[in-house]
Amino acid sequence: MTKSMTAFARETVTGDAGELTWELRSVNHRYLETSVRLPEGLRTLEPAVRERLNARLGRGKLDCTLRHVPGPGTGGNLHINRHYLAQLLAVGEEVAELVGQKGMQPAPFELLRWPGVLQEQPPDPEPVMQRSLDLLDQALTSLVTTREREGTRLAGLIRERCDGLAACVARIRKRMPQVMAEVRERLHDRLREVRAELDPNRLEQELVLLAQRLDVDEEMDRMAAHLDEVRSVLNGSGPVGRRLDFLMQELNREANTLASKSSDVEVTRMAVEMKVLIEQMREQVQNIE
């Protein structure tokens, strides 16, 4: 299925772990380039995040951001460093004895303000990390769905222009016999007065060479084959953008050759119309994965 590289997805969940939000933004790019932004406490998720992104996406520049707002009950548990507190009390008693104030005890809350006495045990990050990865899978599904929907629209636009190019090819094929007849007639008119002075064999050779230079059947055949290939690629699976980009180059080359060979105003006009259609397709192809 044809997929666009331009899409946006946002998924949010609120629970015991607080509020988690993923934002995914993708635009067209030659390769897959990902930028991952994670909260400080969840940076260890980055390898797993990149693995999921690489598994689901083929091309595009992707900005991937996770925001985490901890819930009111997700803080760590407080506990006293008993060993450190005992050492602190012993040193305090020794100092009190030295200054002649033995027996004085500090207030409990004064001891709690002393660095290292009260410690916070961080919560287990595993539930938050797993929930974050599950939510990322949902966001990626939403992003891929959007890319597929936009890709279907782009494929429809390209098919329309393929039909327009095929119609131009048909009109040029129909026009060429008349063009060749008019060219031969003009040449005969110009050569009637000097025919006696020319070598008949050489004249016949020049007419054959001129007919070859003006013949565009080969270009029309190749263009029709390229259009069939474009339609086939659009119906294929997997990333198709690079293949389509190559075909746009080939179509443009045939249109340029046709324009350079043209000696007829109508054929030239249709060649210009073909180049416009090809450029429109090329612009759409730049957004296809």
- Contact partners, residue 167, CB within 8 Å, separation at least 6: none
Q: Are 12 and 37 in a shared domain? A: yes
Could you tell me the two tokens for 174? 């129909």
Q: Are 208 and 156 in a shared domain? A: yes
Q: Are 111 and 237 in a shared domain? A: no
- Please state the separation of Cα 151 from the chain's center in Å: 11
Judge contact between 28 and 287, C-beta under 8 A: yes
Residues 227-248: tens digit of each pLDDT: 999 999 999 887 899 999 999 9
* Domain membership flag for residue 176: yes
Q: Are 166 and 259 in a shared domain? A: yes
Give the CATH number for residue 254.
1.20.140
Could you tell me the two tokens for 160? 């329309």
Judge contact between 74 and 48, C-beta under 8 A: no
- Please give the Cα distance from 215 to 252 (Å, whole number): 18
Residues 26-71: tens digit of each pLDDT: 999 989 999 999 998 899 999 999 999 999 998 999 999 999 988 7
Q: Are 142 and 157 in a shared domain? A: no
* Domain membership flag for residue 43: yes
Give the CATH number for residue 31.
3.30.230.40
Q: Are 142 and 14 in a shared domain? A: yes
The answer to pTM > 0.85 is no
Q: Are 49 and 113 in a shared domain? A: no
**Domain count along the chain:** 3
How far apart are the two ends of the chain, measured CA to CA in Å?
A: 10
Dihedral, 198, 201, 205, 211 alpha carbons, nearest 10 = 80
Q: Are 134 and 95 in a shared domain? A: no
pLDDT values of the chain reduced to their tens digit, one per residue, 289 residues: 789 999 999 999 998 778 999 999 999 998 999 999 999 889 999 999 999 999 999 899 999 999 998 876 555 566 787 887 788 788 777 777 777 777 667 777 777 777 877 776 666 678 889 999 999 999 999 999 999 999 999 999 999 999 999 999 999 888 888 877 777 777 666 666 665 556 666 556 655 555 556 667 888 899 999 999 999 999 988 789 999 999 999 999 999 988 888 778 888 899 999 999 999 999 999 999 9
* Domain membership flag for residue 232: yes
* Domain membership flag for residue 255: yes
Q: What pLDDT score was predicted for residue 117?
A: 73
Judge contact between 269 and 175, C-beta under 8 A: no
- Please give the Cα distance from 252 to 226 (Å, whole number): 11
* Domain membership flag for residue 34: yes
Q: Are 235 and 112 in a shared domain? A: no
* Domain membership flag for residue 17: yes
H or E element that contains 281: helix 265-285
Last residue of some domain: 95, 113, 147?
A: 147
- Contact partners, residue 120, CB within 8 Å, separation at least 6: 75, 76, 77, 78, 79
* Phi (first) and psi of residue 5, to 5 degrees: -95, -5
* Domain membership flag for residue 1: no
The domain in which residue 36 lies consists of 7-72+127-147
* Domain membership flag for residue 214: yes
Q: Are 58 and 82 in a shared domain? A: no
Q: Are 88 and 220 in a shared domain? A: no
Q: Are 94 and 42 in a shared domain? A: no
